[in-house]
A and B are shown apart, each in its own frame.
Chain A
Amino acid sequence: ETGVTQTPRHLVMGMTNKKSLKCEQHLGHNAMYWYKQSAKKPLELMFVYSLEERVENNSVPSRFSPECPNSSHLFLHLHTLQPEDSALYLCASSQDRQSYEQYFGPGTRLTVT
């Protein structure tokens, strides 16, 4: 099993749909992250969880709702998205809050129609 897995790998959804992205890490890490990667823009940090507690929310619109039920799983619940939300959503994990080294999943390519 690879270190950080994400499902689905591709998702197409309408603006009125509700969907969820899933991330799972098999590295025994305690911190997990959601990033948004849009074309020609730097990676944008969205949320940070440490020991299942949200420690950072980078002014992300409420149509994105994260959930971290345990240290191995991270979800991103999506509802009433906009076309500009189309992007690659990357999950990452690190050993703990003091670790600078993050391990990334392959991402979910989201298209909002």
Chain B
Amino acid sequence: AQSVTQLGSHVSVSEGALVLLRCNYSSSVPPYLFWYVQYPNQGLQLLLKYTSAATLVKGINGFEAEFKKSETSFHLTKPSAHMRDAAEYFCAVSEGFQKLVFGTGTRLLVSP
């Protein structure tokens, strides 16, 4: 079965600093990978997705992620954090049509 591991339940950065949220996956077939963001009191919003095209994927709000097969990783980055980026971020891997398997989430805290 496919699975996702997100290292660090909380990540703290200062405004303007680099954001790095880690995601490692396990899959026996080429995966489709996703990052979702959840702001307080809201549902999940798709940030970006990897679907076997370019390994560097750009998403909304200045985020991007790189698929590295050799490391089974799909880490999320943003060069400069904003206060509005404070939210919870979920990595997910597809398990066939319809099924998304989610990680436990990483809460990003941004300080002034």
Chains A and B are bound partners: yes
The interface residues of chain A lying within 8 Å CB-to-CB of B74 are none
The interface residues of chain A lying within 8 Å CB-to-CB of B99 are 45, 48, 56
What are the interface flags for B29-45 relative to A under an 8 Å C-beta threshold, 1 for contact and 0 otherwise? 00010101000011111
User: How distant is B30 from chain A, measured CB to nearest CB, in Å?
Assistant: 13
Q: From the candidates A4, A101, A103, A106, name the one contacting B49 in the complex (CB within 8 A).
A: A101
Q: From the candidates B32, B41, B98, B101, name the one contacting A42 in the complex (CB within 8 A).
A: B101
Kindly state the separation between the CA atoms of A41 and B46 in the bound complex, as whole angstroms: 19
Does B98 lie within 8 Å of A97, measured CB to CB?
yes
Kindly state the separation between the CA atoms of A31 and B41 in the bound complex, as whole angstroms: 24
User: How distant is B9 from chain A, measured CB to nearest CB, in Å?
Assistant: 7
Q: Does A15 contact B (CB under 8 A)?
A: no
Does B100 lie within 8 Å of A102, measured CB to CB?
yes
Does A104 lie within 8 Å of B98, measured CB to CB?
no
Q: Does A86 contact B (CB under 8 A)?
A: no
What are the interface flags for A91-113 relative to B under an 8 Å C-beta threshold, 1 for contact and 0 otherwise? 01010011011111111000000
Q: Does A71 contact B (CB under 8 A)?
A: no
Q: Does A27 contact B (CB under 8 A)?
A: no
If the complex has contacts A56-B98, A107-B43, are A100 and B32 also in contact, measured as CB distance less than 8 A?
A: yes
- CB within 8 Å of B: which residues of A? 4, 6, 31, 33, 40-43, 45, 48, 50, 55-56, 90, 92, 94, 97-98, 100-107
Report, nearest first, the 5 A-B pairs whose CB atoms are least far apart: A104-B43, A104-B44, A43-B102, A42-B102, A106-B43
